[in-house]
A and B are shown apart, each in its own frame.
Chain A
Amino acid sequence: MQKSLIAVSSITYAMKAKKLLNNMGLYCEIQKTPKNLGSGCGYSIRVRDDLRYIFSILDAENIAHKAYQKLPE
């Protein structure tokens, strides 16, 4: 599955998202948000599952996601 990058609010929310997704057996890693995806110095989560599914999980836990991009395979 193609990986995607989702910009979240902060490192705390990136950690929360990673723990949540990892606990569900889903791949999730944290990285700095690239400049084209955020307003500087934020954090993103790298995921590889269906984005709609990931967003539904994040939304249920009030983890705001600002922007996303598909990563090259």
Chain B
Amino acid sequence: MIYFDNSATTFPKPSAVITKACYSLKYLGGNPGRSGHKMSVRVADEVYKVREKIAQFFNAKPENIVFTLNCTHAINFAMKGIMQSGGHIIISSLEHNAVSRPAFALAYNRKNVSVSVAKVAESNEKTIANFKSLIRRNTKCICMMAASNVTGEILPFKEIAAVCQKRGICFILDAAQGAGVMDIKLGEGINFICCAGHKGLYGLSGTGVLISDGKYPLSTIIEGGTGATSLELKQTDFLPEQLESGTINVPGIISLGAGVDFVKENGIDNIRRKEDRLCDIFASQVGQLDNFTVIREDNKEYAPLVSFSYKNANSFEVTEYLSNRGFALRGGFHCSALAHKSLGTVEDGLTRFSPSVFNSELEVRKVVTELKKVNNIGI
């Protein structure tokens, strides 16, 4: 199987990531931050080293790196933590359900929370203006993605974060599709970065990170054992333990450290350049086929993924056809209700091609050849 579904989760993983996961399972026994014996402290030391690596990667402090199960958890922690006391939140019209569902759940379930959706327009200037026009006196938070998981479109999040900074509004960035392929750091208005560990950072599934600049204290949405202040019934109130109730995913975290090292050693720019080249080949070739439409516009910038539609079948049928011929792409709606409503693709969804640094041009040409056959003779 040739794997082009790296926006869902990267595969294969770098050998160093696999080695570290095995090393952790074999040698890093003990529960970090709990038992206090030498094995436990050694694991805690290894976990802290990963906090340091991620902190350095995103321009944060190690104690403000919170390990979560995935990006969705991180977003929920940040958004619900900020909106605990009510207020108005703005999201974009391309958001993944990881952002839109918690936002709308807050609005549905809480009388004191309201949500607005800012339309992502044909130009960044208009998109920024759309966000600005929705800001109210009680706007507490803007939460948006760095890049769309459906189209790859990169949103003007830096400019909108800067607006938030001027207006004293908390800014939460969903970096699920950006971390590892875009230069994303805290600061200049970005107060929280939420990312998956298992996508562009090449860690294992079941890993995510919430990165805080420490300016906005969060309320908790789950509570429990943290290894600190154990005799108090009140939840630990400082990061990272405040948001890390229960035992953390040690093999996942340790191997995520190796994933971050992999990205740093290869260089974000080099990884991006390679993946962009693969996407450009794919988009230009498939874009020439009469019966296919590639979702890309000349004046926009894209993260390395390409979505497309086929005139004579829906995206589920296209991906099933490709799967039967040895290609793993994702069809359907990509957990993105808002995006498909905005794009007008609610009926058939889109098929998404998302390479990683491990894919080759030859592999891309093979899947393009298959799509050319579809174009000529159908599914």
Within 8 A of A (CB), among B44-63: 44-45, 48, 51-52, 62-63
B154-195: CB near A (< 8 Å → 1, else 0) gives 000000000000000000000000000000000000000000
Report if B289 contacts A (CB, 8 A): no
Complex interface: chain B residues within 8 A of A12 (CB):
33, 48, 51, 62-63, 240-241
Complex interface: chain B residues within 8 A of A43 (CB):
33, 36, 227-228
Give 16 CB contacts A-B under 8 Å.
A10-B33, A10-B227, A10-B228, A10-B236, A11-B41, A11-B48, A11-B227, A11-B228, A14-B44, A15-B62, A16-B63, A40-B231, A40-B232, A42-B228, A43-B33, A43-B227
A4-20: CB near B (< 8 Å → 1, else 0) gives 00000111111110010
**A31, B230: Cβ atoms under 8 Å?**
no
Complex interface: chain A residues within 8 A of B226 (CB):
10
**A16, B228: Cβ atoms under 8 Å?**
no
Report if B259 contacts A (CB, 8 A): no
**A15, B228: Cβ atoms under 8 Å?**
no
Show the binding face of A for B, using Cβ within 8 Å.
9-16, 19, 30-32, 39-43, 64
Distance in angstroms from A62 CB to nearest chain B CB is 8
**A11, B32: Cβ atoms under 8 Å?**
yes
11 additional A-B residue pairs with CB within 8 Å, beyond A11-B44, A15-B48: A10-B228, A10-B236, A10-B241, A11-B241, A12-B62, A12-B63, A16-B48, A30-B41, A32-B36, A39-B232, A41-B228
Nearest to B45 among chain A residues (CB) is A15
**A10, B238: Cβ atoms under 8 Å?**
yes
Bound-state Cα–Cα, A14 to B1, Å: 46
**B228, A9: Cβ atoms under 8 Å?**
yes
Complex interface: chain B residues within 8 A of A9 (CB):
228, 238, 241
Complex interface: chain A residues within 8 A of B63 (CB):
12-13, 16
| A contacts with B: majority SS | mixed
Bound-state Cα–Cα, A43 to B45, Å: 13
Bound-state Cα–Cα, A13 to B62, Å: 9
Complex interface: chain B residues within 8 A of A31 (CB):
36
Q: How many chain-B residues does the 8 Å CB contact rule pick out?
A: 23
| B contacts with A: majority SS | loop
Within 8 A of A (CB), among B235-260: 236, 238, 240-241
Q: Which 8 A-B pairs have the closest CB atoms?
A: A32-B36, A41-B230, A11-B33, A40-B230, A40-B231, A15-B48, A10-B228, A39-B231
Distance in angstroms from B242 CB to nearest chain A CB is 9
Nearest to B225 among chain A residues (CB) is A41
Distance in angstroms from A63 CB to nearest chain B CB is 9
B7-40: CB near A (< 8 Å → 1, else 0) gives 0000000000000000000000000111010000
Distance in angstroms from B230 CB to nearest chain A CB is 3
Within 8 A of A (CB), among B179-235: 226-232
Bound-state Cα–Cα, A64 to B250, Å: 26
Complex interface: chain A residues within 8 A of B45 (CB):
15
Nearest to B41 among chain A residues (CB) is A30
Distance in angstroms from A35 CB to nearest chain B CB is 9
Question: Could you say which of A12, A32, A39, A42 has the most chain B C-beta atoms within 10 Å of its C-beta?
Answer: A12
Bound-state Cα–Cα, A63 to B370, Å: 59
Question: Could you say which of B51, B62, B228 has the most chain A C-beta atoms within 10 Å of its C-beta?
Answer: B228
**B230, A39: Cβ atoms under 8 Å?**
yes
Bound-state Cα–Cα, A9 to B226, Å: 11
Nearest to B46 among chain A residues (CB) is A15
Nearest to A32 among chain B residues (CB) is B36
